[in-house]
Amino acid sequence: MTLGSPTPREGQAELASLIRGRRSVRAFRQDAVPRGVVEAAIEAAGWAPSPHGRQPWRFVVVESAKRRLGLADAMAATWNAQLHLDGQDEATVRHRLARSRDRLVTAPVLVIPCLYLADLDVYPDADRQQAETIMAIQSLGAAIQNFLLAIHASGLDAGWMCAPLFCPEVVRDELGLDILLHPHALIPVGHAASDPVRRARIPLDDLIADWL
């Protein structure tokens, strides 16, 4: 071994397989999801890196069928208006709304990752405060990735939906969430009803913009 070369850690191959195996599922069966699996995935999310180790995230779990249906209906009006604003025809709008609603209603568990800024450092200037918020958002993405990998490792599936970013107040009001919680994503969790179509990844050479 060349002097200074790293020693691969145990589980390297398993991690690579896990990362490549994770998939974004859009159709779920209604089979129940064990609470412990969701809790373990949220615990894994908590080990993501974060600014000053403050862990600026909280997770809302929606398991009640009634609450999932209410959330889907509450968000539908915003989705409808935005799709029409994009100039999509009525048939396409109805189709996309039905598919999105089906995911929320059919998946037995919805997990809503929320940005939580209350514990972050406070600066006297706007630029550093904005940077602090951006760091928190970046770390929330890392926490979500940990969550998704843990769910996949458990044998279940999930899909990352960004819809709450476009109507955070609707999500907060419908679920009665604290004003300090900023919904950033919505993740249906369950057993895949069908295999998703996976998109090709950008080749490594194209991913590396420069190596100086």
**Mean per-residue pLDDT of the chain:** 93
| Confidence at residue 2, expressed as pLDDT on a 0 to 100 scale | 60
For the segment 50-103, what is each residue's pLDDT rounded down to a tens digit? 999 999 999 999 999 999 999 999 998 888 888 887 788 888 888 888 888 888
Give the rounded percent of residues in the chain with a pLDDT score beyond 70: 98
For the entire predicted model, the pTM comes to 0.92
Report DSSP letters for the chain, one per residue.
Answer: --TTPPPPPTTHHHHHHHHHH--B---B------HHHHHHHHHHHTTS--GGG---EEEEEE--HHHHHHHHHHHHHHHHHHHHHTT--HHHHHHHHHHHHHHHHHSSEEEEEEEE-TTS---SSHHHHHHHHHHHHHHHHHHHHHHHHHHHHTT-EE--B-GGGG-HHHHHHHHT--TTEEE--BEEEE-BSSPPPPPPPPPHHHH-----
Query: What average pLDDT does the segment 96-122 reach?
Result: 93
Q: Is the pLDDT of residue 178 over 90?
A: yes
Q: Which residue ranges form the domains of the chain, and what is each CATH number?
A: 25-190 (3.40.109.10)
